Structure 1
Amino acid sequence: MSTAAVNESGTTDEQPKAQRQVLVALSGLLIALFVATLSSTVVSTALPKMIGALDGSQTQYTWIVTATLLTTTATTPIWGKLADLFSKKNLVQVAVAVFVLGSVAAGVSQSAGQLIAARALQGIGVGGVQALVQIAIAAMIPPRERGRYSGYLSSVTALSTIGGPLLGGFIVDTSWLGWRWCFLISIPFAAAALVLLQRTLRLPVVRRDNVKIDYLGAALITSGVSVLLIWISFVDNSFAWGSWQTAAMVGAALVLLSVALWVETRVAEPIVPLHIIKQRTTVLAILGSLASGTAMFAASVYLSQYFQVSRGYTATEAGMLTIPMMGGVLVSSILAGRMLSRTGKLKPFVVIGSVLLTTGFAGLGTIDHRTSLVFMSVAMLCIGTGVGMTMQNFVLVVQNSVPLKDIGTASTAVTFFRSLGGTFGVTVLGAILARQVADGIAQDHESAAVAYGDATGTIFLIGSAVAALGIIAAVLLKPVTLRTSLDTSEPSPVTTAEAAGTGR
């Protein structure tokens, strides 16, 4: 059997070629991930003008955001299960197509109700893209090498999450564009992603006989999660925490999810296989992902509002002020990914990242309406660096521990809970923030700007407690070395560096 020649740099001649092929295949996936994630953030600075143009209400204002988050979160495990049953390439193309349909519908909406429905459809596509991109990468890159490429995922997510509000502000402030282009601008990029995916993505298709899809389990999980998200969206606004509406909605959600759990233990092809969820590694990764997801969403949403409402900066200036956080995510995700591929040791990165994440949130927990921007920049840098070192790596922890046939389900289980935690976190923190601002104005007669600035520190302090859960999860993880094979049943090939070290 022939062996690959080793050149002067210590790499085989085939390795650069293989890396180029992977990057070409990644191009379509990353473009799809960018536009899908951007759609969730670009509307934040454009919402007032959207609602004004469509004569919408305050409740509809909230639901333009919540509709997307709800369908994205609820459909994530379904996409993951389908990825274990059907062609991953075809599924990611379907998800992009659904996203395009939702974007077109949102861009031509004539009422707030139509826009909410379009955003819900858009969210189904977003959930598919976000889950399936990670699954596709896991299907073609071994865990040991995946760290190098996970940095690209984190960078794309960071750019779209932090850059979205900045782009949205620019679009609505440009007279010849208008708010509809917040949705329409993504269509040509999504179309380009479809073409690239068709031409460059090559993934093995495993044909399985007697496939059974757990439609009942999917419906129960989706319904239970949806009721919880609807409740958290309206509680403390339309009704009180201790009201009969709360009891009815939370009770109904618990019943639905309990029945779903019962169904999942009895069907042949469960949407969320409990044998994966019950594993210690998966539980800890889910806990860590909850912390990093809450951090990423909360930081991007509330920092932008803080800078605009409390400090008086424009949307463009607010976006510029969050550059330390975006830069932290970009640099740390790329550097950590490369170091991870070299060493294969994952635990040190998630431990350090979780500590930095918690430290940054604790720092922002001390801010008020006069806090030094230099101090805030340091705290944001810590948050960004922590997110870059943890968000994708907690998914990688699980992917490394399961066989290839379960990659889809395992990956989306972590992504699902991360999205769920972010959705709940942002909504609950928003309710706390609104109450604190109202109390500050009513009791202390503060201006809205002062009250908002002083209250923002409180929600970040609460966020630091949530982020601390990530430290616990990271510390309790068992030290593992990422495998170099795609599947757990395959022998790990000797890498070039290992071969050189053993004289082979």
Structure 2
Amino acid sequence: MPQVDDEEFPHRSSREIITVMSGLMITMLLAMLDNTIVGPALPTIVGDLGGLQHLSWVLTAYTLATAISTLLWGKLGDLFGRRGTFMASIVLFLIGSALTGMSQNMMELIGFRALQGLGAGGLIVGVMAILGELIPPAERGKYQGLFMAIMPLAMLGGPLIGGWITDNASWRWAFYVNIPLGAIALTTVWFTLHLPHRNKGKVTIDWWGAGTLAVWASALVLLGSWAGTQYAWGSWQIVLLAVLAVGFFAAFVAIEQRVDEPILPLHVFANRNFALAGALAFVIGMAMMGAAAYLPQFQQLVQGASATNSGLLLLPMMFPMIIASLIIGQMTTRTGKIRIFPIIGGAILTIGMLMFTQVHVDTTKLMLSSFMVVLGFGIGCLMQPSMLIAQNSVSIRDMGAGMGASTFLRTMGMSLGTAILGTVYTTRLTDTLSDRAGAAGDQLVKGGAQLPPSVIHTLPAQLQDALHHGVTNGIAGVFWAGSAAALIAFVVSLFFKDVKLKGFSAPAPEQKAAEVNAV
């Protein structure tokens, strides 16, 4: 694996870095926010545009397009230069946002959301690749911690902002709000970001690789979303999706081994640390989305919390994630060491997941919040190191493709994790309702997919009790599965090689002596 010389990271002042970062952070916030901001607006959107049967595609189209385009944008940045491709992705995202806001029917909305997602894939991987080229890994932790903090902030702020906009303006502004923020980010990047165009040879684009990637990734996401819910596991639709996923993945690997400029250079996975960091990214995506998607179910349906403020219910998990990311960023910058943090994170995450398997209908809000604090610290100790290790394991030449692969794995973890955990939750909930309430429980399952928390208290006492136990049993199942994934993350983290972060220089002996004397 080629190594990157420190000379490839020219010295930049803190002021220059912070100026560029302001545009990058706004861009990252836009991409992450649009995963969650649309949720509170969905009922109003359906009321305006109709098409209830296609509602899930408003979310799926965005997520799927983001996942598919991530690797392509990363490679285009390697080939054509990061500044130009990054700005192109911002423009595409803003065009998609404007068109989505102007949609007149559900089909237009879904199509424009996919266009928006194509741009979003370039925003996420562009930020990570630019940061990877702008700052040496040894100094990157203190800056990158800020970016890792954006992810939980977006997950928390998205539903709150989306709900406020829907209640006080129009759902269309959930998309229009991207335009002024995106314009600021675009202007900042235009005037402040200056990176060398490292590719000097003939440019070829791996279109066959991109095409096969689109097919197998789409089939895999749809398989995770539909299996056991919209279609039975043994149905021809699910079998066909599985065949497409496997077949086109094999074709994708064969193509990437032969083309001159693969969209995903497979040799990056020959680096053990990079391959392990990718596995961690997948688990982190699964853990984050699983907790964020299903914890509010317990808090609203069992503990009686308000659905309007559901985003605030995740604060005990989000704040530790942010704090852990910032602390680890500072520590890696000072010490140049990174291996210990994913080991600690994997252990804490496993403990946090196991805590949630013990929830019951009488679990207090204080106890649940304490579980969330542990879970948040575990995720926070994994997010920052997994990205930093991945960046440290690839050359500048492959930074875009490498960050694209890492981001792609995290996105797939979020999509597949949510779908698989959703199947576990639904199955256990349904079984418990049937066991405790018989025919009445079965009827509640058939008619209660949109059962609002506000009407739970109007149900007969037997049904309320059955629902509370069903939700609790479903949540426990989700976190038993999450515990297994977290344990895998812990085991994976033990195999990281302890390598020095590029660009790190230990203090000279005379400097250490001066520091001791100063104390």
Normalised by the length of structure 1, the TM-score is 0.90
The equivalent position to 1:144 in structure 2, one of 138, 142, 155, is 138
The equivalent position to 1:432 in structure 2, one of 424, 439, 452, is 424
Judge conservation of contact 2:427–2:474 (CA < 8 Å) in 1: no
Q: Which position in structure 2 is the counterpart of 1:387? A: 379
Return the offset for 1:415. Answer: 1.3
Return the offset for 1:393. Answer: 1.6
What root-mean-square deviation, in Å, do the aligned CA atoms of Structure 1 and Structure 2 show?
Answer: 2.1
Return the offset for 1:376. Answer: 1.5
The equivalent position to 2:101 in structure 1, one of 90, 101, 107, is 107
Q: Which position in structure 1 is the counterpart of 2:40? A: 45
Taking only the aligned residue pairs, the percentage that are identical comes to 34
Q: Which position in structure 1 is the counterpart of 2:511? A: 500
The equivalent position to 1:212 in structure 2, one of 185, 204, 211, is 204
Matched ranges for 1:151-300 at <5 A: 151-174=145-168, 177-300=169-292
Q: Which position in structure 2 is the counterpart of 1:120? A: 114
Is 2:320 aligned against 1:301?
no
Q: Which position in structure 2 is the counterpart of 1:74? A: 68
* Distance in 1 separating the partners of 2:165 and 2:35: 15
Deviations 1:464-497 (A, max 9, x none): 211222111111111122111xxxxxxx6x4666
Deviations 1:422-463 (A, max 9, x none): 110001111222233233333322444553243122112211
Judge conservation of contact 1:170–1:316 (CA < 8 Å) in 2: no
Judge conservation of contact 2:298–2:471 (CA < 8 Å) in 1: yes
Matched ranges for 1:433-448 at <5 A: 433-445=425-437, 446-447=463-464, 448=467
Judge conservation of contact 1:45–1:315 (CA < 8 Å) in 2: no
* Distance in 2 separating the partners of 1:227 and 1:157: 26
* Distance in 1 separating the partners of 2:510 and 2:234: 64
Deviations 1:406-428 (A, max 9, x none): 11111211111111111100011
Q: Which position in structure 2 is the counterpart of 1:91? A: 85
Q: Which position in structure 2 is the counterpart of 1:7? A: none
Is 2:68 aligned against 1:57?
no
Judge conservation of contact 2:78–2:199 (CA < 8 Å) in 1: no
Judge conservation of contact 2:224–2:415 (CA < 8 Å) in 1: no
Equivalent position amino acid for 2:378 in 1 = G
Matched ranges for 1:301-380 at <5 A: 301-380=293-372
Return the offset for 1:350. Answer: 1.1
Return the offset for 1:151. Answer: 0.6
* Distance in 2 separating the partners of 1:112 and 1:449: 35
The equivalent position to 1:458 in structure 2, one of 472, 477, 488, is 477
Q: Which position in structure 2 is the counterpart of 1:34? A: 29
Equivalent position amino acid for 2:66 in 1 = T
Judge conservation of contact 1:25–1:201 (CA < 8 Å) in 2: yes
Judge conservation of contact 1:368–1:456 (CA < 8 Å) in 2: no
* Distance in 2 separating the partners of 1:51 and 1:450: 31
Equivalent position amino acid for 1:26 in 2 = M
Q: Which position in structure 2 is the counterpart of 1:6? A: none
Unaligned stretches of 5+ residues in structure 2: 1-9, 438-462
Matched ranges for 1:474-493 at <5 A: 474-484=493-503
Q: Which position in structure 2 is the counterpart of 1:487? A: none
Normalised by the length of structure 2, the TM-score is 0.88
* Distance in 2 separating the partners of 1:165 and 1:464: 27
In structure 2, relative to structure 1, the CA distance for the partners of 1:363 and 1:239 (3 Å cut) is same
Deviations 1:218-272 (A, max 9, x none): 1101111101212222222332001222211111221111111111111111111
Once the two structures are overlaid, the 10-residue window that deviates more, 41-50 or 182-191, is 41-50
Equivalent position amino acid for 1:131 in 2 = V
Aligned residues: 479
Q: Which position in structure 1 is the counterpart of 2:15? A: 20
* Distance in 1 separating the partners of 2:77 and 2:300: 41
* Distance in 1 separating the partners of 2:109 and 2:509: 56
In structure 2, relative to structure 1, the CA distance for the partners of 1:498 and 1:333 (3 Å cut) is farther
Deviations 1:297-333 (A, max 9, x none): 2222222343334433224432222111111111111
Deviations 1:256-303 (A, max 9, x none): 111111111111111111111233222211111111111112222222
The equivalent position to 2:492 in structure 1, one of 462, 469, 473, is 473
In structure 2, relative to structure 1, the CA distance for the partners of 1:272 and 1:149 (3 Å cut) is same
Judge conservation of contact 1:33–1:129 (CA < 8 Å) in 2: yes
* Distance in 2 separating the partners of 1:255 and 1:390: 32
Equivalent position amino acid for 1:105 in 2 = L
In structure 2, relative to structure 1, the CA distance for the partners of 1:337 and 1:49 (3 Å cut) is same
